[in-house]
């Protein structure tokens, strides 16, 4: 297997970071990738140099959004003709081009200067498990930090005979609160 990567001039001192996007939230995941591409995780970071590692992302089709962003978030572009404003929701964009959702998020977090294009060349996104860098000598699996949910406490205590307006949403929310309480108590017990 060739040690060179198309579009990357010098691989000396660079690692290939393998990141799994399965179950990751787009914005949080993109910010982590952008930091690696810029080289901010290295002690030799300098904003005028392109010292970031090559990032290989797998399972881009299994990325997640929080809230209602699948339906509310729009990707817009213009064809250049009168009345040519086009738009797609995030769900449509993921179905059409799974890698584009994550690539747009990462590109928005890279610096807007002359180094942006060379940093973007180091980002390789694959929709599924398979990628072109299997067996590469510099490939390192990168563990993303776990997603921590903020515990808001018991905000609402229902009075006797309370019937929620939307029972499905209410019980989902209550179940989520119970799960976060369990996680918080487990962390507290592990820290003792």
Residue 63 has pLDDT above 50, yes or no: yes
What's the angle, vertex CA 71, arms to CA 168 and CA 25, rounded to 5?
85
What is the percent of the chain with per-residue pLDDT over 90, rounded to a whole number? 55
- Say how far apart CA 37 and CA 123 lie, in whole Å: 8
Q: Which residue has the higher pLDDT, 161 or 103?
A: 103
Chain mean position to CA 129: 16
> Who's near 9: CB < 8 A, 6+ residues apart?
118
Answer yes or no: are the C-beta atoms of 33 and 55 closer than 8 Å: yes
Which of 31, 54, 55, 172 has the alpha carbon at shortest distance from 109?
31
Residue 2 has pLDDT above 50, yes or no: no
Q: For 164-192, write each residue's pLDDT tens digit.
A: 888 888 888 888 888 888 877 787 777 65
Indicate the average pLDDT of the chain.
Answer: 87
59-87 mean pLDDT: 94
For tokens 């300098």, the residue is 46
For tokens 């799960």, the residue is 179
* Number of other CB atoms surrounding residue 122 within 10 Å: 21
Give this prediction's pTM: 0.74
User: Given this model, what pLDDT does residue 133 score?
Assistant: 86
Residue 111 is given by DSSP the state: -
User: Given this model, what pLDDT does residue 100 score?
Assistant: 95
Tell me the β-bridge partners of 139: 16
Chain mean position to CA 2: 29
Residue 13 burial by CB count (10 A; 0-12/13-18/19+): exposed, middle or buried?
A: exposed
3-state secondary structure of 76: strand
Which of 125, 86, 85 has the alpha carbon at shortest distance from 105?
125
């Amino acid at each position: 297997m060739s040690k060179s990567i198309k579009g990357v001039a010098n691989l000396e001192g660079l690692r290939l970071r393998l990141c799994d996007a399965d179950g990751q939230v787009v914005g949080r995941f993109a910010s982590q990738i952008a930091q690696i591409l810029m080289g901010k995780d290295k002690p030799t970071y300098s904003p005028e140099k392109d010292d970031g590692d090559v990032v290989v992302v797998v399972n881009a089709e299994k990325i997640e959004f929080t809230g209602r962003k699948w339906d509310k978030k729009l990707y817009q572009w213009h064809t250049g003709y009168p009345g040519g404003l086009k738009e797609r929701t995030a769900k449509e964009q993921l179905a059409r081009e799974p890698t584009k959702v994550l690539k747009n998020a990462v590109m928005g977090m890279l610096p807007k200067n002359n180094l942006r294009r060379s940093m973007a060349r180091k980002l390789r996104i694959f929709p599924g498990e398979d990628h072109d860098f299997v067996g590469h000598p510099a490939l390192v699996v990168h563990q993303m930090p776990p997603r921590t949910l903020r515990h808001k406490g018991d905000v609402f205590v229902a009075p006797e005979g309370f019937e929620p307006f939307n029972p499905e949403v209410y019980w989902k929310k209550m179940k989520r609160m119970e799960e976060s309480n369990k996680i918080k108590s487990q962390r507290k017990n592990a820290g003792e």
